[in-house]
Amino acid sequence: MRIPTTAAIAALGGALVLGLTAVPAAQAAPAAPAECTTDAFGIAGKYGEFVLGDDTHSPDAEGAVAVGGNADFRGGFSVANELTASEVDALPGRASLVVRGDLVNGGTATVVMKGNAVVGGAVKDRKIEMHNGTSSSQADLIDFEAEFAKLRSYSSALAGESTTAGAQVKLDGPKLTLEGGNSARNVFSVSADQLEKAKEVFIKVPAGATTIVNVSGQEYDMAGARTTGFFLSGGQDFVLDDKLQSASDGKIRAKLLWNFPDATKVTKNSQAAWPGSVLAPKAHLELGTAAPVNGSVWVASLHGSGGAETHHFPFTGCLPEVPGTETPSPSETPGEGTETTPPATATPSASVTPPSESATPSDGPSEGPSESATPGTPAPSDSPAGGDLASTGSSGTIPLVIGGAAVLAAGAGLVVLARRRKAQA
């Protein structure tokens, strides 16, 4: 059967239309990254010190402090000097100092620089000095038992996260190196024994990536090797972390989490500033007498004095909403001759859906490199060259539009020719 010329052209035009509409689908954007949350710790995440039991500390905590037991601030104590207005507003009752039990200061000053103070028991010896808020009595502002039940459950589940493919853990004499190339999240598994042998700890991950260091064991004492420093790298030189210097303008330590799910005691060596936040919900944290934690601490009890402060560098990493259910795809393959930690196969023991509140982070100042390292592989660009059309998938349609117009014009010419021949017959 002969197909009329007009019908053939109509079919051709329809095919071209289908082809044009199919092109954008073929160039669809890549799948979104795995879901995560920047608010995994809920209320606890808004406090630089969040303690279930007693807190004996002086002279300073730059962020907010919440104590579920008694507070012993007899060496003098100031709170919340580095909080922003939005961070204060996000606190329960705008309270940057919460003590459920008694607050003892021995006649020295307890100063709340920003926000309110809420104490459930007695304030002994000297009233709290308030700079921009009010002081009140209330014992149930925060349900510490409920919050720590969430923290313990989440910590255990987080420990079940698989080690990121390609992540390296290498102990070379007194030097421990953790290196990962995933641009989203890097998970490392180390033992307390490995950490205790490290005089220097080096961590290298892409700037902006979340880093989780799961530490197994019931007790960790940094003084075992007399750890002298933590060196961070976002792909460039390693930088000894301190308050006034940190790798990638503080982006590494702001998303660095040390998770101690089973520890009952964690001891920081006074010589070393400890970058990142510490989640040890079953442990007593001994801060020593010098050098700070450059991050938040969530612990069962706490003791520290002298320069053993908690500096206000809130955790801003993106953690799995339900740990153990997904792992980000690796973006870098380890080089030859390196030691690679195999993926863990543990199953998390619990899942937690975190609360929905959030706080605004603040980062530290710029870095000052102290040791060279091989730069990491840069993350690929989000948009290829070629402008907006390339990023939307429209560039492939232009040649088809031009070609389709030419074909349709030729087809129209055939129709006219066929009709003339028919009229001359």
- Tokens at residue 269, please? 């060596």
In 290-417, the DSSP E strands lie at 293-294, 297-304, 310-311
Domain borders along the chain are: 5-27+398-424
Q: Are 232 and 246 in contact (CB under 8 A)?
A: yes
Say what the pLDDT of residue 364 is: 39
Whether the predicted pLDDT of 203 surpasses 90: yes
Say what the pLDDT of residue 322 is: 80
**Weakest mean pLDDT among 102-116, 235-249, 306-320, 365-379:** 365-379
- Tokens at residue 39, please? 């608010």
Give the residue carrying structure tokens 């007693």.
54
Per the prediction, the chain carries an average pLDDT of: 78
Q: Are 139 and 122 in contact (CB under 8 A)?
A: no
DSSP H/E element including 137: strand 135-137
Give the residue carrying structure tokens 């902006």.
208
Say what the pLDDT of residue 270 is: 85
**C-alpha pair distances (Å), 273 with each of 45, 87, 189, 255:** 21, 24, 21, 16
Q: Are 295 and 311 in contact (CB under 8 A)?
A: yes
**C-alpha pair distances (Å), 117 with each of 17, 54, 65, 138, 360:** 68, 17, 10, 10, 20
Say what the pLDDT of residue 391 is: 33
* Residue of 169, 202, 231, 179 lying closest to 377 (CA atoms): 179
Q: Are 183 and 208 in contact (CB under 8 A)?
A: yes
What is the share, in percent, of the chain residues with pLDDT greater than 70? 68
What tens digit of pLDDT does each residue of 50-77 get?
999 999 999 999 999 999 999 999 999 9
CA distance 40 to 154: 8
Whether the predicted pLDDT of 219 surpasses 60: yes
* Residue of 142, 81, 75 lying closest to 104 (CA atoms): 75
What tens digit of pLDDT does each residue of 312-352 get?
999 999 999 888 655 444 444 333 333 444 434 333 333 33
- Tokens at residue 418, please? 């066929």
DSSP secondary-structure letter at 225? T
Give the torsion through C-alpha atoms of 327, 333, 338, 344, to 10 deg.
20
What tens digit of pLDDT does each residue of 111-130 get?
999 999 999 999 999 999 99
**Region 19-41 average pLDDT:** 54
What is the share, in percent, of the chain residues with pLDDT greater than 90? 65
CA distance 275 to 297: 11
Identify the burial level of 127 via C-beta atoms within 10 angstroms of its C-beta, where 0-12 means exposed, 13-18 middle and 19 or more buried.
exposed
**Cβ neighbours of residue 424 under 8 Å, at least 6 residues apart?**
none
Say what the pLDDT of residue 325 is: 54
Residue 112: phi and psi, rounded to 5, are -105, 110
Number of Cβ atoms within 10 Å of the Cβ of 405:
11
**Weakest mean pLDDT among 89-93, 322-326, 355-359:** 355-359
Whether the predicted pLDDT of 37 surpasses 60: yes
What tens digit of pLDDT does each residue of 161-193 get?
999 999 999 999 999 999 999 999 999 999 999
Whether the predicted pLDDT of 265 surpasses 70: yes
CA distance 127 to 105: 9
CA distance 36 to 409: 53
Identify the burial level of 92 via C-beta atoms within 10 angstroms of its C-beta, where 0-12 means exposed, 13-18 middle and 19 or more buried.
middle
The pLDDT-based confidence of 34 (bands split at 50, 70, 90) is: low
Identify the burial level of 415 via C-beta atoms within 10 angstroms of its C-beta, where 0-12 means exposed, 13-18 middle and 19 or more buried.
middle
Number of Cβ atoms within 10 Å of the Cβ of 235:
20
The pLDDT-based confidence of 367 (bands split at 50, 70, 90) is: very low
